[in-house]
Structure 1
Amino acid sequence: MKKRVVITGMGALTPIGQDVTSFWEGLQEGRSGVRSISRFDPTGFPTTIAAEIPDYDPLDHFEAKVARRMSRFAQYGLVAAREAVRHAQLVMDRVDPVRVGVMVGTGSGGLDRIQEEYQKVLQNGSQKLSPYLAPAMLANMASGEIAIALGAKGPSAAVVTACATGSSCIGEAMRMIQYGEADVMIAGGTEAPITPLGLAAFSRIRALSRRNGEPQKACRPFDRNRDGFVAGEGAGVVVLESLEHAVQRGVPILAELIGYGATTDAHHITAPSPDGAVAAEAMDRALTDAGLSPEQVDYINAHGTSTRANDAVETMAIKRVFGEAAYRIPISSIKSMIGHLLGAAGSVELIASVETIRHGVIPPTINCDTPEEGLDLDYVPHTARKRDVQVVMSNSFGFGGHNVSLIVRRWDPRDESLITS
């Protein structure tokens, strides 16, 4: 029998808050983290805005020699992981470290270090290259750094599914616990794509909003005037445990992770399949895994990128799965406030989903002024909404056609069946 999996800790580093508490406050306020880029001079780029983490200083978190060896994405992942582990009251010498694993992925990896060190090679030759570049640029290095820092000696990996990475890592970590490969998994996603190279790459395929004069209004999921996503950065990490292990430790349980579904469009390297059928299949699989009917979902945290194709296809897929119920279920995209965190998006959005359940507040889709024709669901425009929420579905879709849906449910400590079954 599969083990039940619960969430006991969460950590977040985002453009509107550098911990879970401040991040959640920003979401409730409908606060935008999109600004003109300050990390480098974006003059001459078609897009000059992004959702940066303001006032981030590596030396606030790491010794100088440690910060020098780590790419920014790995730093973000470790900062979020430390918060999640503290939140979970997880002390490694009180558990079996070989039963604690790490699965934290990234879509882009160490873009910042790659670009910096390449410039050194061009200007001064290969002998000036940092010896830290080889490990710093690898996509698995956030997981590696987290495992080293925390002493987690169980299974470690970095699942990479582009913008679905964080959700894929959480879903696969869930499976490891369900089938007995680990008791605890530290899982999520991290991303630091706001570099000249990253900005140029996404600008070149016209994926980014060019609303440079109104940055806080640039990301507008489901709105008829949307013109692309806004690049964001940050990390989201959760501590997953088997129910038995969490109860044995006597720690508070935040929510239960009950469903995971994944599919691949097999259609195009960047565009979603236009009929939404395979994305809908991922949602169906998550519902089946959770043992739920569509009517039992109270809120959908949408992928909602603010691109022309994605928002339309996701709406279509939701209608396929939920039928008439789609029109009564609130749906919102927090990317409207924090931008698109790419490989970290799904994990940060799952944290928002858990907070929605815990606090009874659905975050809004800001800037959704006039939904496009056919995008006629309840997108919770402009302001947060108080609502009792028991079950949340969180969707993530990535370049390459990756589709992932996760489902979390409120944990009720009075429900003895969840402890004894």
Structure 2
Amino acid sequence: MAINYQDRIVITGIGLLTPFGKGVKDNISALFDFKTGINLHQISQNNEELLYLGKITDSLAIDIPKSLSGQYKFLNRGGQIGLYSAIEAMADIDISAIPPEDRAFFLATGDLSNTGCEFMYPANKAALDKDNKIDYKKLNKAGLNKVNPFFLLDSIANNPFSFISSYFEFMGDNTSISSLSPSGALAIELACRSLKQGRSSIALVIGSTTWINPVSLYEMQGLGLLSRCKEGAKSFKPLDRFRDGFIPAEGGASIVLEKEQSAIQRGHKIYGSIVSSSCQCETMSRDTISVPEMITLNAIDGLIKSSQKSIDDFAFICLHGSGSKKGDKSELESVKNIFEKYNTRIPICALKSYTGHMGCASDLFDIIMSLQFLNQNKIPKTLNFEEAERQFINLPITKSIIDTDKSLFISISNGLGNQSVAFIIEKANY
């Protein structure tokens, strides 16, 4: 389903915390310099194995009001990362005249930091006998003082939701989505609906993911999703003929949305606007987690028809680009069919190879970075892309930064469960 927003929805706040570091400024600088946030890291304190990951190494220390300090200690890592990005997004936003009940909040979180049950490791270690086997009587005793009794709170997705809601006093329309891509894009779409339907005056959207703990990595490896990293950090090759999967990362990204006239009246800086959105979900008869072949085509086609734009009006298309053989092929087939249908070609790119795949945070990251480039009349390079497969050899996948005089781009996010969410974004014209 595609929606065209007649009341222009504008982006007035942006914030990032990624493997590149804190803030939009550092991230956009890294992309212009073709840097990567992917490096060799020890995957946990209890596992010395080194893997290529996108890991945040900056401190997450934040000044917390005394009234919330007790709740903050139960915030999981994904919640801390999301909060940090939201603080930057909200830094120049004046909400003093907006009642808390008119402030909407939509959180997408893919925090898998507790899937390895590492909170149990100290108790397990204390319960080992001389033969290195668990003595279960010792384990029961160790559980009383070696296991954090609040581990359950640390794993509940609604805990960071309620904390961040209280921190910014966003007490109106709200939703918390616990998943990976495209849940960040879905959260943006829900926020746009809330504003369009008059249920809120301002909306904060956060996407945060951390899925680089050992159990999550082994599970993704078992599903065949991860790159074998034969070329190190350069192995993440979205859209390239030699792609073999993605490199996972953790990160947080935040966007503040308002209606255009309200934002102008409040004196808020406008980074760009969301022209329309398209959400597609297809059921499949066979057992697979791959994205259906035509779902991206339907998402793009729905956008173009609902917005009444010509595809030649767009500077570029930012694809999901997870680096998987089947997923990227599905996207490229769709784009090829769109170009043939409208008898034109425009540049296409993918950005996840800069930071690593940050799950639902990448949904927002792609929009923020693409918009930052377009506001400087540039189209981003697809990092590590060298050559396409034979059937896609004529697709204009970016190998360098390109100049443009156009003001629109399409951003697409796909995910497991046969979902695709796409947006038309327009750069700032103020």
Q: Please, what TM-score do these two structures have when normalized by structure 1?
A: 0.88
- Aligned position for 1:25: 29
Q: 2:370 aligns with which of 353, 365, 383?
A: 353
In the aligned structure 2, how far is the partner of 1:205 from the partner of 1:350?
28
Give the Å deviation of 1:65: 6.0
8 Å CA contact retained: 2:116, 2:214: no
Stretches of structure 2 that go unaligned for 5 or more consecutive residues are: 126-138
- Aligned position for 2:86: 81
After superposition, the C-alpha distances for 1:337-373 in whole angstroms (9 at most, x for unaligned) are 1111112111111111211221112221121112222
- Aligned position for 1:271: 290
In the aligned structure 2, how far is the partner of 1:42 from the partner of 1:379?
41
Q: Does 1:116 align with 2:118?
A: yes
Q: 2:109 aligns with which of 106, 110, 114?
A: 106
In the aligned structure 1, how far is the partner of 2:198 from the partner of 2:123?
47
Q: 1:69 aligns with which of 74, 93, 101?
A: 74
- Aligned position for 1:193: 211
C-alpha distance 194-215 of structure 1, shift in aligned 2 (>3 A): same
Q: 2:60 aligns with which of 42, 58, 63?
A: 58
Q: Does 1:411 align with 2:428?
A: yes
8 Å CA contact retained: 2:75, 2:154: yes
In the aligned structure 2, how far is the partner of 1:282 from the partner of 1:101?
26
8 Å CA contact retained: 1:255, 1:354: yes
After superposition, the C-alpha distances for 1:202-242 in whole angstroms (9 at most, x for unaligned) are 11112101115x32211011212111111011011100001
- Aligned position for 2:227: 209
Give the Å deviation of 1:118: 4.2
Q: Does 1:307 align with 2:310?
A: no
8 Å CA contact retained: 2:60, 2:84: no
Give the Å deviation of 1:188: 3.2
In the aligned structure 1, how far is the partner of 2:283 from the partner of 2:257?
30
Equivalent position SS for 1:10: strand
C-alpha distance 40-326 of structure 1, shift in aligned 2 (>3 A): farther
Equivalent position SS for 2:44: coil
8 Å CA contact retained: 2:273, 2:427: yes
Give the Å deviation of 1:284: 2.3
8 Å CA contact retained: 2:112, 2:213: no
C-alpha distance 155-127 of structure 1, shift in aligned 2 (>3 A): farther
C-alpha distance 175-120 of structure 1, shift in aligned 2 (>3 A): farther
Q: 2:345 aligns with which of 315, 324, 328?
A: 328
- Aligned position for 1:243: 260
In the aligned structure 1, how far is the partner of 2:155 from the partner of 2:306?
35
In the aligned structure 1, how far is the partner of 2:151 from the partner of 2:301?
42
After superposition, the C-alpha distances for 1:125-146 in whole angstroms (9 at most, x for unaligned) are 5545434333321233443222
Equivalent position SS for 1:166: helix
The code of the aligned residue for 1:83 comes to E
Equivalent position SS for 2:171: coil
After superposition, the C-alpha distances for 1:57-84 in whole angstroms (9 at most, x for unaligned) are 2235669866531111101110111100
8 Å CA contact retained: 2:244, 2:325: yes
The 5 Å alignment of 1:150-189 reads: 150-160=168-178, 162-189=180-207
In the aligned structure 1, how far is the partner of 2:365 from the partner of 2:209?
11
Q: Does 1:93 align with 2:110?
A: no
Equivalent position SS for 2:392: coil
C-alpha distance 320-41 of structure 1, shift in aligned 2 (>3 A): farther
In the aligned structure 2, how far is the partner of 1:248 from the partner of 1:297?
29
After superposition, the C-alpha distances for 1:68-108 in whole angstroms (9 at most, x for unaligned) are 3111110111011110011xx2233332221111102023x
C-alpha distance 295-389 of structure 1, shift in aligned 2 (>3 A): closer
Q: Which has the higher helix share?
A: 1
The code of the aligned residue for 1:50 comes to L
The code of the aligned residue for 2:289 comes to T
C-alpha distance 228-44 of structure 1, shift in aligned 2 (>3 A): farther
Give the Å deviation of 1:121: 6.4
In the aligned structure 2, how far is the partner of 1:340 from the partner of 1:113?
18
Q: 1:5 aligns with which of 9, 19, 22?
A: 9
8 Å CA contact retained: 1:61, 1:79: no
In the aligned structure 2, how far is the partner of 1:141 from the partner of 1:321?
42
In the aligned structure 1, how far is the partner of 2:241 from the partner of 2:280?
28
User: Which structure has the greater CA radius of gyration?
Assistant: 2
Stretches of structure 1 that go unaligned for 5 or more consecutive residues are: 414-421
C-alpha distance 62-293 of structure 1, shift in aligned 2 (>3 A): same
Q: Please, what TM-score do these two structures have when normalized by structure 2?
A: 0.87
Give the Å deviation of 1:110: 4.4
C-alpha distance 93-291 of structure 1, shift in aligned 2 (>3 A): same
The code of the aligned residue for 2:187 comes to C
Q: Which has the higher mean CA deviation after the structures are superposed, 110-119 or 141-150?
A: 110-119
- Aligned position for 2:134: none
After superposition, the C-alpha distances for 1:3-28 in whole angstroms (9 at most, x for unaligned) are 32110010011112321111111111
C-alpha distance 68-39 of structure 1, shift in aligned 2 (>3 A): farther
Alpha carbon RMSD of aligned pairs, Å? 2.5
8 Å CA contact retained: 1:72, 1:112: no
After superposition, the C-alpha distances for 1:155-214 in whole angstroms (9 at most, x for unaligned) are 1212345311111111111111111111111013110111111111111112101115x3
Equivalent position SS for 1:298: strand
